[in-house]
Amino acid sequence: MTAGSRSLRVGLALLACGALAGGALWWQGRDPARLATRGRQALDQHDLARAEALFRRAVTADPASLEALEGLGWTYLVAGQREAAQAAFDRCAQVDDQAAGCLRGQAATAQAAGEFGRARDLLQRAFALAPDDPKVQSSLGLLELSQGEVDLAVPRFEDLAARFPESAELRVGLVEGRLRQGRHEEALAEVDRALALPAPPLRTEALLHLLRARVLVALSSSRVDPSRCEETAPPVLAWLDAADAEVEAARATGVRLPTQGEVGRLVGRSRGQVEDACPGRARVVPAVAPPTEPAAPDD
């Protein structure tokens, strides 16, 4: 074989390898499973525009992709586009009416519309199909909390926290439940555990910061004694300074939550109550969480 022939054969082989590699990259760019996975990663980082684009590409590549249809629905719901979310979840259920994730998504849009009975029916169907699905259990618990059924919801979240100790997302409901039970010290411990977990979804991180602010406000409630302002007001103001810092931390994530302004106003009202009880006498301390619970006023 001449040198020219060998060179030609090597060149053809390289071209063939390049074509195969290019084809693989082209397919990866159209693979609905990979696109849906990337969409979920974008949604976790609250990059809604990128998440929508990736999920839509996945649905175009495979109109029956449940993962992509679910992801598209949650992207729209987080963005506040309830009708678009409902359309995505309905299409998901048309593909497979036995898919618990599709039913869970339909329940979320029903709950957002105030249709709590329909939401419960859909979640109960999802639970019957997938009783061990943590997201279905979490959605059921959050619905129960919204309906004041705290004693039903809290055991669900306790079970989820035990089963999935590394999931910050699944601890949100437990913190809310402890807060509604009035078990504020336990709520603070739970939210601190959740915030210490690595790389939670950005929306979950923002929610946890706002939850921590609410817990700090609850801990500081009714702890100022007007007859002992110099002693009781500064520790309470320290809790409220820390709560303000949590609201700012939630804002710094870049996630806009509908309750963010409400929580900020809650902290402001609590600070006003301290100032009303101790006008001009309360010493404001730096915005750091105090190491101990503020002293309760004497009965």
Please give the pLDDT value at position 60.
96
Give the torsion sign (CA, 32, 38, 41, 43).
negative
Exposed e or buried b per residue across 77-90, where buried means at least 16 C-beta atoms within 10 angstroms of its C-beta: bbbebeebbbbbbe
**Lowest-pLDDT range of 85-99, 129-143, 171-185, 273-287:** 273-287
The hierarchical CATH code for the domain 31-121 is 1.25.40.10
Residue 283 clears pLDDT 70, i.e. is over it: no
Residue 274 confidence (pLDDT) above 50: yes
Task: Give dist(CA 104, CA 130) in Å, integer.
Answer: 11
Helix axes 3-30, 32-44, angle to 10 degrees: 60
For the segment 11-27, the average pLDDT, to the nearest whole number, is 46
Higher pLDDT, 47 or 3: 47
User: What confidence tier does 10 reach under pLDDT thresholds 50, 70, 90?
Assistant: very low
- Output DSSP code: residue 296: P
Residue 21 in this model has a pLDDT that exceeds 80 = no
Look at 294 and 56; give whichever has higher pLDDT: 56
- Distance, in Å, from the CA atom of 259 to the CA atom of 209, rounded to the nearest integer, reads 12
The whole model's pTM is what? 0.82
Q: Name the residue type at position 125.
A: R
CATH code of the domain occupying 132-200: 1.25.40.10
Q: What is the pLDDT of residue 124?
A: 97
Domain residue limits, the chain: 31-121, 132-200, 213-299
CA–centroid distance for 238 within its chain = 27
**More confident: 22 or 280:** 280
Does the pLDDT at position 199 exceed 90? no
Kindly report, residue by residue over 147-162, the tens digit of the pLDDT: 999 999 999 999 999 9
Q: How many helices (H) and strands (E) are present in the chain, helices listed first?
A: 14, 0
Is there a shared CATH topology between the 31-121 domain and the 132-200 domain?
A: yes
C-alpha R_g of the chain:
26
Q: What is the pLDDT of residue 6?
A: 53
DSSP single-letter state for residue 99: -
Report the chain's mean pLDDT, rounded to a whole number. Answer: 87
